[in-house]
Amino acid sequence: MRPRSAAHRRLRSAYPVLLLAVATVAAGCAASRELPEPPRWESPGAPLTADQAAPGDRSATPTAAASPTGTPSVDPSPTRSGLRHVFPVRADDVDYHPTHSAYPGTDLFADCGEPFVAVTDGRILEVSRVDRYSKRGPQGPHNGGLSVSLLGDDGVRYYGSHLRVIASGIDEGARVRAGQQLGEVGRTGNANNVCHVHFGISPPCTGSDDWWIRRGVIWPAKYLDSWRRGGNREPAAEVIRWQREHGCPREP
């Protein structure tokens, strides 16, 4: 690990306050288009049949509930798809918060240059290799700077932004595996000069530049907590419930 200055640590600890000071609450929910038929594994709590399990997995069953105190020995949520999920930043020192500013998401604070990796198996959905953010321009569409979004084989979109660099070969349509490096922690876009990755979980609403959805629609912390300790809590059911309720809003 690279040593971190006291000033850097103070800046990271103050960053959530900066976000709250500058954030504006997204309003309303616009008309939504017709949704595709949800994946067959959508029903919460329903056990997998053999043809619903992921390829090579024929024994996916719900796991035991976690104790309300202490670190559980078994992840608290059912594993429905059988896909492996991993923590998105590969570093010894990563901080994040259970909340964000005006919308669900989180910021993963780590040194610039630490690896940002694929959360699960899937294919690259969107890549931005150019930092187009300007304080004088519209706030929102280019806030992420260099960014990557992954459509997991679980049907969930995982988004990381403010990256310093995108890894070679990480292009739209490329297949990746859980843990494969996608880029490096950085501070591009509207990152307030703080090294971190903005991490969002959302449905893949395609057909428009849906940055207001891509940035995150459900709170990631409980999934990050699980993946960090080696668990496999899956966000797919919660993402599907959100999309059933909200559709794909056409504006923030």
For 213-245, the pLDDT digits (tens) are 999 999 999 999 999 999 999 999 999 999 999
> Is pLDDT of 198 > 60?
yes
pLDDT at 35: 39
> Mean pLDDT throughout 34-52?
35
- Mean pLDDT, residues 101-112: 94
Q: For residue 175, name the pLDDT band (cuts at 50, 70, 90).
A: very high
Confidence of residue 114 (pLDDT cuts 50, 70, 90): very high
> 106 is in which domain, residue-wise?
84-133+144-246
Residue 68 has pLDDT above 90, yes or no: no
**25 confidence band (pLDDT: 50, 70, 90):** very low
The residue whose two tokens read 């940055």 is 211
Q: How confident is the model at residue 99 (pLDDT cuts 50, 70, 90)?
A: confident
At residue 4, the pLDDT reads 55
pLDDT of residue 20: 45
Query: What CATH number did the domain enclosing 241 receive?
Result: 2.70.70.10
pLDDT over threshold 50, residue 58: no
| 5 falls within a domain | no
Calculate mean pLDDT across residues 53-82: 38
- Tell me whether residue 229 is in a domain: yes
Residue 91 predicted with pLDDT over 80: yes
CA 148 – CA 132 distance, rounded (Å): 14
Query: Is 57 among the domain residues?
Result: no
Q: Is the pLDDT of residue 188 over 80?
A: yes
Mean pLDDT for the stretch of residues 145-157: 97
**Residue in this structure with the two tokens 């999309």, named with its chain if needed:** 243
**pLDDT higher for 28 or 132?**
132
Q: What is the pLDDT of residue 173?
A: 97
Contact predicate 192/20, CB 8 Å: no
Task: Tell me what pLDDT residue 206 has.
Answer: 72
Residue 26 inside a domain? The answer is no
Q: Judge whether 187 and 196 are in contact, CB under 8 Å.
A: yes
- Does residue 210 lie in a domain region? yes
Average pLDDT over residues 132-147: 94
pTM metric for this prediction: 0.71
Give the chain's domain count. Answer: 1
Residue 55 lies in a domain: no
pLDDT of residue 182: 98
Band (179; pLDDT cuts 50, 70, 90): very high
Residue 168 lies in a domain: yes
Does residue 99 lie in a domain region?
Answer: yes
CA distance 15 to 194: 8
Round to whole Å and give the CA distance between 33 and 248.
6
Q: By percentage, how much of the chain surpasses pLDDT 90?
A: 62
Percent of the chain at pLDDT exceeding 70: 67
